[in-house]
């Protein structure tokens, strides 16, 4: 029997169609979906709505990205669209704005002083101007004939229609047919012409149903009821459940239920009639699943009298079912679908011994390029440079450290943002550093009574906080910083309050300075946000600012294998106490705290007896922190040894959940690995 003589009817075709497509393609069966979807929902037909959204939003980044990255639209001029999106990300082109009654184009303003300017930015600027002018002219067309003229101008200058697929070209042609119909109606009834012709046209495309014109041949797939009584040799009705296959007709459905009862208006159940029409040809087979995509189902009551459903045993000769049974120990399938044969050949190809894999073995001396990168990026005079973030990342996954720190694979931004947590953290650190430098210069020590004056200093400092950071370049950067001054000052005020409570009279002595320390074959390095010193007894307090939530103290308690989860506090204590560059060389650090700017709280990790923190409980005192320092030293040795051996293997005990959330999972592909023999 040829596929053209087979039909399939599905009650909830919108939900089931992706699964049906997959099954037909897996079995290499030609098919034809006999159902429509709005023209404006098709990838090519969406272009008119996307253009309209660009213009109406003032060419906001989100609208521009949706238009430019629609793969169904073939643009001229090579990679201009990707370059324009990248330009918008690095210049924070989020949205245009109004100033003194004038609308300012965010993209045009960004092109005046671009961040990380590229020599080709002027070409990009001209291409954007062409896009903006053509799109604006199209959306502002006063009538439908003008829309046609502007569309063909847009297409001529910006699109490469020859590269569009035949199916997408058909959709676009149908959209223009609808425009022609509107032109004829507009000529007949000019007094009824809409005010915004292009928006009217774009909205119409969201309502007009379009059925793809596929090549003839294949199984016909219909929505439920549409193909009732059609003379196919075999007709399969899927999901004949009570919920989905019931057909109810209601008289005067707009009336309330009590009114309908007063008029003796009852619902008419036409389900049985449709079932009989389908069965009238003698070729229909009904089926249903007790558990479908949307939940559990019950077979339709029409079949309670013993009417036959499809027999599950019909799957016995299915090659996929035979393949599943073969993996469980049964005999080999008698036949295979083409895609199965291709898959087996591909599996045999990739399952061959491929030799060396850095995911499973250390590089050692196998790659001069890797050795060169290590010498360039991670060693100084033969010593391995170590930061606390190196230890945290390498300890979690050596492969991630290699891809990020050594190979230099960056996780690119996909959206333009005005301010994220990292940007805000930079501002906080910058303001706090300058503020405490001024306090040290003016007063020598922190004076709690001058808290309000310190806050006014912070306000002046915050006004220019973003000027030294490339992340804040772009037309909207400084206005956004200005609008966030209040939020920044609220965070600074919380830190000042805590200093007044616990560190009144302390000298804010060491502010965001780098220290280094040679430890065996490693060179430790780090930047400490602040060390405050009590001039009375020289007690030292290390403070690390966190714009978000502080690190949990549990991460500094060694586990059963004497490992810790964070290395920041041990690194800073080691540097402050032993670095030759440290003004506190040879002294003992009794206090180490996180300062949560968001929560306005100090979180003690190491705590001496001289400062009372009330109910706040630290991890331990300095003596009790020694096991953590020993775990830190072991990790330094492990890291230094691993770098020298070029060991970037993936830990065997790393959980799948950790890999699944990793930004580099698509590079190392550990989450996609398949073990032979697994069902």
593 vs 617: CA distance, rounded Å: 11
What is the per-residue pLDDT across 591-621, written as a single tens digit (0 to 9) for each? 999 999 988 999 999 999 889 888 888 999 9
Is 573 within the bounds of a domain?
yes
Give yes or no for residue 25 having a pLDDT over 60: yes
Same domain, 443 and 459: yes
Is 356 within the bounds of a domain?
no
Is 358 within the bounds of a domain?
no
Is 406 within the bounds of a domain?
yes
**Exposure letters 435-459 (e unless 16+ CB within 10 A, then b):** bbebbbeeeebbbeebeeebbebbe
Which tokens sit at 166?
A: 């035949």
Given 180, 210, 240, the domain boundary residue is: 210
Same domain, 547 and 651: yes
Provide the H-helix boundaries in 189-309: 197-205, 242-245, 257-262, 271-279
Between 479 and 211, residue with greater pLDDT: 211
Same domain, 251 and 143: no
Which tokens sit at 276?
A: 């009989």
In angstroms, how far is CA 311 from the centroid of its own chain?
44
658 vs 665: CA distance, rounded Å: 10
Is 537 within the bounds of a domain?
yes
656: Cα within 13 Å, side-chain hemisphere? 4
Same domain, 337 and 231: no
Model confidence band, residue 678 (pLDDT cutoffs 50, 70, 90): very low
- Which residues lie closer than 8 Å to 340 by C-beta, 6 or more apart? 319, 320, 323
Is 61 within the bounds of a domain?
yes
114 vs 624: CA distance, rounded Å: 53
Contact 359, 659 (CB under 8 A): no
Instruction: For the full predicted model, state whether its pTM sits above 0.75.
Output: no
Same domain, 583 and 647: yes
Given 194, 210, 226, the domain boundary residue is: 210
Which tokens sit at 556?
A: 């500094």
CB atoms within 10 A of CB 284: 20
Same domain, 642 and 584: yes
What is the per-residue pLDDT across 284-329, written as a single tens digit (0 to 9) for each? 888 877 777 667 778 777 776 555 555 555 555 678 788 888 878 8
pLDDT of residue 421: 63
For the segment 115-120, the average pLDDT, to the nearest whole number, is 73
pLDDT of residue 238: 87
Positive or negative, the Cα torsion across 151, 155, 157, 158? positive
For the segment 86-96, the average pLDDT, to the nearest whole number, is 85
28 vs 25: CA distance, rounded Å: 5
Crossing angle of helices 319-327/338-350, nearest 10°? 30
Same domain, 455 and 385: no
Same domain, 269 and 384: no
Domain that holds residue 340: 315-350
pLDDT of residue 676: 44
Is 355 within the bounds of a domain?
no
Is 357 within the bounds of a domain?
no
In angstroms, how far is CA 503 from the centroid of its own chain?
42
Given 487, 504, 521, the domain boundary residue is: 504
Same domain, 528 and 669: yes
pLDDT of residue 593: 96
Give yes or no for residue 467 having a pLDDT over 70: no
Instruction: Identify the helix (H) or strand (E) that includes residue 533.
Output: strand 522-533
Strand pairing class (219-223; 31-33) = parallel
For tokens 């007009």, the residue is: 208
Domain count, the chain: 5
Same domain, 141 and 264: no
CATH classification at residue 17: 3.40.50.300
Taking the CA atoms of the chain, what radius of gyration do you get in angstroms? 34
Single out the residue of 344, 401, 341, 405 nearest to residue 373, CA to CA: 405
Same domain, 50 and 165: yes
């Amino acid at each position: 029997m040829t596929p053209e003589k087979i039909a399939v009817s599905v009650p909830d075709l919108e939900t089931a169609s992706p699964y049906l497509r997959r099954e037909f393609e897996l079995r290499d069966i030609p098919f034809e979906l006999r159902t429509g979807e709005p023209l404006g929902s098709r990838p090519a037909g969406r272009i008119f709505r996307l253009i309209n959204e660009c213009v109406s939003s003032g060419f906001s980044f989100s609208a521009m990205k949706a238009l430019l990255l629609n793969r169904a639209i073939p643009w001229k001029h090579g990679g201009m669209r990707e370059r324009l999106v990248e330009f918008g990300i690095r210049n924070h082109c989020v949205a245009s704005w109004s100033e003194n009654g004038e609308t300012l184009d965010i993209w045009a303003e960004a092109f005046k002083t671009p961040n990380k300017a590229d020599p080709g930015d002027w070409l990009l600027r001209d291409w954007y101007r062409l896009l903006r002018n053509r799109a604006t002219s199209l959306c502002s067309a006063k009538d439908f004939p003008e829309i046609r003229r502007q569309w063909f101008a847009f297409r001529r200058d910006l699109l490469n229609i020859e590269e569009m697929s035949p199916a997408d070209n058909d959709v676009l042609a149908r959209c223009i047919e609808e425009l022609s119909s509107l032109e004829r109606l507009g000529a007949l009834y000019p007094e009824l012409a809409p005010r915004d012709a292009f928006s009217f046209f774009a909205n119409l495309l969201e309502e007009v149903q379009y059925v793809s014109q596929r090549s003839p041949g294949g199984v016909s797939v219909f929505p439920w009821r549409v193909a009732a009584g059609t003379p196919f040799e075999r007709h399969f009705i899927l999901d004949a459940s009570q919920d989905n296959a019931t057909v109810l007709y209601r008289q005067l459905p707009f009336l309330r239920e009590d009114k309908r009862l007063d008029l003796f208006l009852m619902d008419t159940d036409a389900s049985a009639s449709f079932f009989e029409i389908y069965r009238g040809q003698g070729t229909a087979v009904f089926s249903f699943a007790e558990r479908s995509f949307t939940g559990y189902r019950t077979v339709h009551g029409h079949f309670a009298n013993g009417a036959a459903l499809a027999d599950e045993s019909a799957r016995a000769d299915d090659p996929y079912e035979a393949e599943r049974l073969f993996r469980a120990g049964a005999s080999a399938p008698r036949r295979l679908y083409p895609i199965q044969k291709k898959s087996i050949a591909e599996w045999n190809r990739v399952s061959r011994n491929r030799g060396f894999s850095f995911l499973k073995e250390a590089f050692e001396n196998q790659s001069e390029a890797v050795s060169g990168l290590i010498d360039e990026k991670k060693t100084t005079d033969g010593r391995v440079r170590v930061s606390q973030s190196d230890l945290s990342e390498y300890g979690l996954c050596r492969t991630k450290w290699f891809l990020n720190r050594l190979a230099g694979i960056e996780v690119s931004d996909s959206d333009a943002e005005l301010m994220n947590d990292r940007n805000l953290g930079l501002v906080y650190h910058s303001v706090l550093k300058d503020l405490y430098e001024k306090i040290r210069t003016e007063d020598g020590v922190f004076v709690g009574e001058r808290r309000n004056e310190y806050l006014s200093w912070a306000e002046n400092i915050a006004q220019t906080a973003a000027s030294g950071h490339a992340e804040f370049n772009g037309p909207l950067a400084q206005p956004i910083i200005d609008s966030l001054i209040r939020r920044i000052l609220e965070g600074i005020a919380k830190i000042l309050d805590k200093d007044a409570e616990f560190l009144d009279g302390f000298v804010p002595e060491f502010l965001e300075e780098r220290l280094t320390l040679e430890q065996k074959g490693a060179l430790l390095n780090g930047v400490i946000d602040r060390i405050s010193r009590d001039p009375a007894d020289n007690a030292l307090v290390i403070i690390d600012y966190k714009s978000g939530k502080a690190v949990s103290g549990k991460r500094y308690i060694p586990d059963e294998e004497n490992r810790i989860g964070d290395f920041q506090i041990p690194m800073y204590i080691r540097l402050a106490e032993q670095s030759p560059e440290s003004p506190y060389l040879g002294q003992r650090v009794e206090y180490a705290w996180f300062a949560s700017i968001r929560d306005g709280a100090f979180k003690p990790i190491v705590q001496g007896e001289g400062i009372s923190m009330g109910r706040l409980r630290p991890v331990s005192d300095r003596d009790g922190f020694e096991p953590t320092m020993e775990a830190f030293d072991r990790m330094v040795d492990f890291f230094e040894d691993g770098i020298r051996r070029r060991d970037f293997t993936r830990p065997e005990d790393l959980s799948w959940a950790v890999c699944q959330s990793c930004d580099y999972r698509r590079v190392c592909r550990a989450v996609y690995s398949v073990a032979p023999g697994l069902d």
